[in-house]
Amino acid sequence: MKESLHLFKIGGAVLEDPGELEETLAFFSNLPGRKLLVHGGGRRATQLCHQMDITPKIHEGRRITDADTLEVVVMVYAGLENKKVVSILQALGCNAIGLSGADGNTILADKRPVRDIDYGFVGDIKTVNTQTLASLLEAGLTPAFCAITHDGNGQLLNTNADTIAAELAIALAGQYQVNLYYCFEKPGVMEDVNDPDSVIRYLDPELYVAYREQGVIAEGMLPKLDNAFRALKAGVASVEIGDRKALALGKATQLVWTTEFPE
């Protein structure tokens, strides 16, 4: 039987709330066994862009990254946010090591080709160095990844954190039983974003398509769910989406393949 691995992605709203961030990282650090964390930081990057008179551009929940924006996201993701997360985890007794995809050549990406939209310096993941990751995990370290990759030729690339979490989960699923968690500020995927009691407890691909066409699920939730379903299809053991409390209570949204949902 494969050893379990908890792969946890936390979103920008959690990062911006000091109390919630500490509680979320405490929950993460208490998960048993091997762990790996991925974090975003888009909200802080957007704030800093405005302060520097750089206009943020988002298309369907994904950031368009020109050269100036790339400098900002590298500073925020790989610097401020990553080291903040690592320092809190260390205070909680979790021996974390902060990484970008360039560190240890762990995540290699290609610059996204221009099609209908020019995303700029955005990376599509090409390979994940599972050998290096497994070595870190087996050494008792907890990798904490920011949303920066590289192309192997000296170019850093902005890569959606939800995508990184999914790709890491897929790559490591061959060696571990990977349980993937997307932790953000809402209790789950909701039918009404203003009603916390409207969490969709079980979501399958057919229902997802229907909600997407109706506009119930939109914007930043789209890349999250696209990546989550892709991970589930590729052999990741489980995928759950919700806030810390919902995840802890087993009341977050769980992705499934069948419409015959559990009671």
Retrieve residue 210's tokens.
């229907």
214 has a pLDDT exceeding 70: yes
Q: Return d(Cα 171, Cα 235) in angstroms, integer.
A: 9
Percentage of the chain beyond pLDDT 90 is 81
Domain assignment present for residue 249? The answer is yes
154: left (phi over 0), alpha (psi -120 to 50) or beta: left
Domain assignment present for residue 260? The answer is no
3-state secondary structure the chain: CCEEEEEEEECHHHHCCHHHHHHHHHHHHCCCCEEEEEECCHHHHHHHHHHCCCCCEEECCEEEECHHHHHHHHHHHHHHHHHHHHHHHHHCCCCEEEECCCHHHCEEEEECCCCCCCCECEEEEEEECHHHHHHHHHCCCEEEECCEEECCCCCEEECCHHHHHHHHHHHHCCCEEEEEEEECCCCCCECCCCCCCCECCEECHHHHHHHHHHCCCCCCHHHHHHHHHHHHHCCCCEEEEECHHHHHHCCCEEECCCCCCCC
Domain that holds residue 93: 3-255
Question: Residues 105, 163: contact at Cβ < 8 Å?
Answer: no
Domain assignment present for residue 137? The answer is yes
Predicted pLDDT at 116: 87
Predicted pLDDT at 260: 52
**Looking at residue 63, which CATH number applies to its domain?**
3.40.1160.10
159 has a pLDDT exceeding 90: yes
Predicted pLDDT at 263: 46
Q: Return d(Cα 80, Cα 73) in angstroms, integer.
A: 10
Domain assignment present for residue 56? The answer is yes
Domain assignment present for residue 263? The answer is no
Domain assignment present for residue 203? The answer is yes
Domain assignment present for residue 173? The answer is yes
Q: Return d(Cα 129, Cα 256) in angstroms, integer.
A: 28
Question: What's the domain count of the chain?
Answer: 1
Bridge partners, 178 (sequence order):
5
* Mean pLDDT, range 9-38, rounded to an integer: 95
Domain assignment present for residue 261? The answer is no
Question: What pTM was computed for the model?
Answer: 0.93
* Mean pLDDT, range 243-249, rounded to an integer: 96
150 has a pLDDT exceeding 60: yes
Q: Return d(Cα 102, Cα 157) in angstroms, integer.
A: 10
102 has a pLDDT exceeding 70: yes
User: φ, ψ for residue 214 (rounded to 5)?
Assistant: -80, -10
* Mean pLDDT, range 47-60, rounded to an integer: 85
Q: pLDDT-based confidence at 259, cuts 50/70/90?
A: low
